[in-house]
Amino acid sequence: MQPVTPDAPFLSVAFRNKELCTRSGSCVGVCPTGAITIGEDLYPRLNTDQCTACGLCGKVCPGGEIQFAELSQQVFGKVPTDHSFDGQVAETFVGYATDTRLREGGSGGGVATALLYHLLKTGQVDGCLVTRMNREKPWLAEPFIATTYEELCLSQGSRYSVIPMNRLWSELRSREGKFAAAILPCHTHGFRKLQQHEPELAAKLSVVIGLFCGGALEPNLTTEMLTMRGINKDEISDFQFRGGEWPGQMRVLFKDGRPPRPLHYSNYKEGAYIYFTSLYMPERCQTCLDGSNEFSDISVSDAWTRNETGDYQFRKHSRLLIRTEAGARVVKSAVDSGDLIVKDVTNNPNYMTHKIQTRRKGYMTPVRLERWGKAGRPIPVYDRHVPADVCRYDRVKEFMISSLLRAGRNKLFRMAVMGFLTSRFAIPLIRLRIYWKRRKYRGRNSHARSRVADRTTTKG
């Protein structure tokens, strides 16, 4: 057998263009000989001596190419003529877990974990593909298969970090039974490709709960935040991205029982999310067009709906988009058995879209792809392009965001900006932002009330 060279075109894209790798772990999980492993930077490594050139890693790779029409046909049996950010949706709900621990521990209403636990306890699945912080190195997130309530509790909450979930497929090969997963859009893309090329292995995963995703973050965010706050990483027992009171704050827990320490002053929503995504979003996430996990069975997002006073209307709730029959069955079964409480908002237009994300994923990202393509930078191949009604504002804003992200690759710049934005000197800025947001919503909602009764607004 000829030795395989790492730039062979049938291998996953990471080996030719690292920038296009999503670090989903799909190539690692599908490799039948274990020739692909994961490095500390979470990019795959190839042992050419073990590679049999089967090409499976290239076929399931979600990094280099996504054909939305083909995946729509595969999952829904139809291709919509128009495209919305939310994708194909049968029903929309907002809801929360009835189990207090699951609701309290969740990033939103604990819905993702409540659905997984419902599937587990009713014997519909034997395990769940989820995430947790590593026990020895609690600043690192990792995927694992949970089989008990306690393990699911460990997995709760969003970890805004790149996690190679699909490497767990290699464990599924050797395990009997059915499984469910809570995963990001890039993981779902890899899974849908797995269904095309390794249907027997893919059939073990019977339900995909897809998280919305505005972009994951580089894993070094956690260690840099600890350095900025002068915390020795060996002293911490856990790192929470959204710990404490909803909507949560990045914070650490200590081995010696000291009270939890927040790492910034704003909460997750009023500032922090913007700082982090503007400085730590990986290059491949900047070119992703799928923010609503369009090919999952059920998509789950935050429910950032504000009422007429500018307050959040659904505190500690999640929003659910039911996409497939399998998804509808799971939610119905969880609601019927009392594990989930939901409110049907299917016909309420205010819940149909995340306005900021729609603009980012639907307009600015295609503009970025066009710009990078013209500049000769590697970009993924898509069958979606810049919409005809893109405006100059989208182009200018995209350019500014891209420039900030590029500057963020310089560690000194990143640390200086983050150091300031997460320090107490930034508190006036946070207050100003909260004041401005409330004013904006109050004005918008009082104006809207005169037109439509019970008007509310959903934002991403």
Looking at the Cβ atoms of 46 and 408, the one nearer to ligand FAD is 408
Cα–Cα distance between 340 and 114 in angstroms, integer?
7
Cα–Cα distance between 52 and 250 in angstroms, integer?
44
Looking at the Cβ atoms of 131 and 266, the one nearer to ligand FAD is 131
Q: What is the DSSP letter of 4?
A: P
Six-digit token string for 79: 């291709």
Minimum CB separation from ligand FAD for residue 218, in Å?
11
Cα–Cα distance between 15 and 418 in angstroms, integer?
32
- Residue 181 phi, psi (nearest 5): -140, 145
Looking at the Cβ atoms of 112 and 426, the one nearer to ligand FAD is 112
Q: 70 to each of 67, 83, 361, how far by Cα in Å?
A: 5, 14, 19
Minimum CB separation from ligand FAD for residue 241, in Å?
8
- Is 419 in a helix, a strand, or coil? helix
- Per DSSP, the chain holds a count of helices (H) and strands (E) of 17, 17
Minimum CB separation from ligand FAD for residue 379, in Å?
21
Minimum CB separation from ligand FAD for residue 450, in Å?
29
Minimum CB separation from ligand FAD for residue 375, in Å?
27
Minimum CB separation from ligand FAD for residue 433, in Å?
18
Q: 400 to each of 318, 368, 394, 395, 416, how far by Cα in Å?
A: 31, 11, 10, 9, 19
Looking at the Cβ atoms of 36 and 119, the one nearer to ligand FAD is 119
Looking at the Cβ atoms of 88 and 293, the one nearer to ligand FAD is 293
Q: Which residue has the tokens 């060279």?
A: 5
What's the Rg (C-alpha) of the chain? 22
Minimum CB separation from ligand FAD for residue 256, in Å?
27
Looking at the Cβ atoms of 79 and 352, the one nearer to ligand FAD is 352
Looking at the Cβ atoms of 107 and 422, the one nearer to ligand FAD is 107
* 8 A C-beta contact, residue 279 and residue 418: yes
Instruction: Encode 63-83 in three state secondary structure.
Output: CCEECHHHHHHHHHCCCCCCC
Looking at the Cβ atoms of 11 and 361, the one nearer to ligand FAD is 361
Minimum CB separation from ligand FAD for residue 316, in Å?
8
CB contact set of 322 (below 8 Å; sequence gap of 6+): 89, 90, 91, 92, 93, 298, 328, 331
Binding site for ligand FAD (CB under 6 A): 106-113, 130-131, 155-161, 163, 165, 182-184, 211-214, 216, 300-302, 318, 357, 460
